[in-house]
Chains A and B, each alone.
Chain A
Amino acid sequence: MTEQPRPIPATRSVPTGALVPGNSRAADPGRPESFIFDVEGLKVFYGSFQAVAETSMQIREHEITALIGPSGCGKTTVLRCFNRMNDLIEGARVEGTIRYHGADIYGEKVDPVEVRRRIGMVFQKPNPFPKSIYDNIAFGPRIAGHKGNMDDLVEESLARAALWDEVRDKLRQSAYALSGGQQQRLCIARAIATSPDVLLMDEPCSSLDPIATLRIEELMIELKRDYSIIIVTHNMQQAARVSDRTAFFTVDVKETGMRTGRLVEFDTTDVIFTNPRQKQTEDYITGRFG
């Protein structure tokens, strides 16, 4: 008991269509309990159009997992499955299960609002509420019924997002007065305020300048201590810099013209970027397509 990967039932471990011999646990046989998300047979449809082909993967706690791939490969769609944001899109349908702390978030009695309180999200373009900095942070906890001292909570959230020092004297000012990078850190603080244990980030730096980007990347690495982070990025170098594990998606185009995303390879970042098992992965990494 030992170095051998545990024997795992085939249906759970091998994503259909992916040719990974073995599975995502091959490189590092983690214990199942340290998986914050266990995705099994996930498929996403918009009406009759299939956006994401059957996908299975396991996300580990206290790691940064990056989802990369060419545009249209479904990485954002998959990300939004983790906090049921796709529910908001008319005609979206999800099959399969995503287990979070053992509970399938797509289970029958699950209230998506509960899911979203525990799983925070940061969007591509910073989108603070048209309110004061204080109210931006306080909103989530308030509606969740937070009973403690709000001032402390706001300060702590801003501190964890490395924004406290810059805004401590202007908490009542409009959030829109901040720069783009500051606004995004505000959005991170806002997501943290509801005490989630997961942060989903959808291309959080794509609308920011390089210096702001760097600050957020540093912040992510710090945050990894307390949160599990899944980030979608179209910037490969960013994925290589910050993530522990990387999932590479691609898009298959059928004769009908329908474009469906598919998970190709999921492994530690090292492996993906230096020694990928799939040719498609290698082609993407080296810039031959995408």
Chain B
Amino acid sequence: MTTEASAPDIDLRGSRTRLRRERRVHRLFFGAAVTSILISLLIIGSLAGEAWRFISTVDLSSLWDLGWFPRRGMFDLKTVLVGTLLIALVAMAVATPLGLGAAVYLSEYARPRARRWLKPILEVLAGIPSVVLGYFALTWISPNLVMRLNPQAGVFNMAAAGIGVGILVTPLVASVTEDAMRAVPHALREASYGLGARKATTVTRVVFPAAASGIVASLILGLSRAIGETMVVAMAAGAVGGSLFEVNIFQPGQTMTAAMSALAIGSDQVAGSTNAFQSLFFLGLLLFLMTLALNVISERFVRKVREKY
């Protein structure tokens, strides 16, 4: 008598209500996850439409002009791009030494007890809202640092804004760099010590290069954040109502983000020409693409770190 012939004496099919519930729950959670894709599409949609309208109706010669004066129909792109770039560079000039230095110290030298209260303080710095840093840049950094450095500087200047953004970005650079350095296996450090290298040599010649991809990623992320920062620049770099093309960081300047916020709160808006308002979307699209590109590049570097270890 083979068992094939006899009917199974148990039912393994499971309860229908339970199976239905499982399917429903699965679909619900899937829907939540897909919302993120929806948001991306909405962002791209909201930018692209108006940006296209701007670029197709605007007089293209106005994109290369004396300055950024939307009220007068002057949309000199190099003003805002150079402004963004200068402030981002000043910011990175501040954030790179401070952030990297702090991170290397915390991960390689600090004693556990010191780490325990130094790290949270750095995290407090990370939590300071950008309006507060904008205020600080305008009312303290500008008079006490920038104007002392260069008495010709105006109260509103790109350098003060740049330093403010730099302080904002420092914790980000520090934390990503620290993660990268801690990811370096101890075995490498031990091998170096075993060969008789002193600590400074080990850190600079072994650990740092091993963490290089992660460090580069942190700098790129910092740069992306600096480019996308609005409030510090809006408050401290001046240029309400438009700005001439300017490369002197001790003078007021205009970034893409500040130009956008000025358009939004109406100080640059004009009853007649709607091009002015649409330029907001065009700048937004540029900004979005730039930060997206930087973030994708930084992701590549982070992946290289993961592959190595």
Residues of A within 8 A of B (CB): 9, 12, 32-33, 35, 38, 99-105, 107, 109-111, 113-115, 118
**A107 to B12 alpha-carbon distance, docked (Å):** 9
Residues of A with C-beta under 8 A to B9: 101-103
Flag if A111 contacts B14 (CB, 8 Å).
yes
Chain B contact residues, majority secondary structure: loop
Flag if B19 contacts A32 (CB, 8 Å).
no
CB distance from B12 to the nearest CB of A (A): 4
**A212 to B50 alpha-carbon distance, docked (Å):** 73
Flag if B6 contacts A102 (CB, 8 Å).
yes
**A35 to B11 alpha-carbon distance, docked (Å):** 18
A32's partner among B3, B10, B12 (CB-CB below 8 A) is: B3
**A9 to B1 alpha-carbon distance, docked (Å):** 11
A-facing mask of B1-45, CB < 8 A → 1, else 0? 111001111111110001100000000000000000000000000
**A40 to B2 alpha-carbon distance, docked (Å):** 13
Q: Can you add 4 more A-B contacts, CB < 8 Å, to A99-B8, A103-B10, A105-B12?
A: A9-B2, A12-B2, A104-B8, A113-B14
Across chains A and B, the number of contacting residue pairs, with CB separation under 8 Å, is 45
**A107 to B11 alpha-carbon distance, docked (Å):** 11
Flag if B12 contacts A110 (CB, 8 Å).
yes
A-facing mask of B181-205, CB < 8 A → 1, else 0? 0000000000000000000000000
Flag if A114 contacts B8 (CB, 8 Å).
no
**A100 to B10 alpha-carbon distance, docked (Å):** 9
Whose C-beta in chain A lies nearest to the C-beta of B5?
A102
CB distance from A83 to the nearest CB of B (A): 12
Q: If the complex has contacts A110-B13, A114-B13, are A103 and B8 also in contact, measured as CB distance less than 8 A?
A: yes
Residues of B within 8 A of A (CB): 1-3, 6-14, 18-19
B19's partner among A9, A103, A111 (CB-CB below 8 A) is: A111
Residues of B with C-beta under 8 A to A114: 11-14
CB distance from B14 to the nearest CB of A (A): 3
Flag if B10 contacts A111 (CB, 8 Å).
no
Residues of B with C-beta under 8 A to A33: 3
**A111 to B10 alpha-carbon distance, docked (Å):** 12
22 contacts between A and B (CB under 8 A): A9-B2, A32-B2, A33-B3, A35-B3, A99-B8, A101-B9, A101-B10, A102-B6, A102-B8, A102-B9, A102-B10, A104-B8, A105-B12, A107-B12, A109-B13, A110-B14, A111-B14, A113-B18, A114-B11, A114-B12, A114-B13, A118-B10
Flag if A32 contacts B1 (CB, 8 Å).
yes
CB distance from B220 to the nearest CB of A (A): 32
Flag if B12 contacts A111 (CB, 8 Å).
yes
**A4 to B218 alpha-carbon distance, docked (Å):** 77
Residues of A with C-beta under 8 A to B7: 102
**A38 to B3 alpha-carbon distance, docked (Å):** 9
CB distance from A69 to the nearest CB of B (A): 27
**A103 to B6 alpha-carbon distance, docked (Å):** 10
Flag if B1 contacts A103 (CB, 8 Å).
no
Residues of B with C-beta under 8 A to A99: 3, 8
Residues of A with C-beta under 8 A to B2: 9, 12, 32
Residues of A with C-beta under 8 A to B12: 103, 105, 107, 109-111, 114-115
Whose C-beta in chain B lies nearest to the C-beta of A115?
B12
**A161 to B6 alpha-carbon distance, docked (Å):** 35
Residues of B with C-beta under 8 A to A105: 12
**A248 to B12 alpha-carbon distance, docked (Å):** 30
CB distance from A60 to the nearest CB of B (A): 14
**A115 to B18 alpha-carbon distance, docked (Å):** 15
Residues of A with C-beta under 8 A to B3: 32-33, 35, 38, 99, 102
**A105 to B10 alpha-carbon distance, docked (Å):** 10
Most buried by B among A38, A111, A113, A115: A111
Whose C-beta in chain B lies nearest to the C-beta of A143?
B18
Flag if B13 contacts A111 (CB, 8 Å).
yes
Residues of B with C-beta under 8 A to A118: 10
Residues of A with C-beta under 8 A to B10: 100-103, 118
Residues of B with C-beta under 8 A to A102: 3, 6-10
CB distance from B146 to the nearest CB of A (A): 56
**A111 to B15 alpha-carbon distance, docked (Å):** 9
Residues of B with C-beta under 8 A to A12: 2
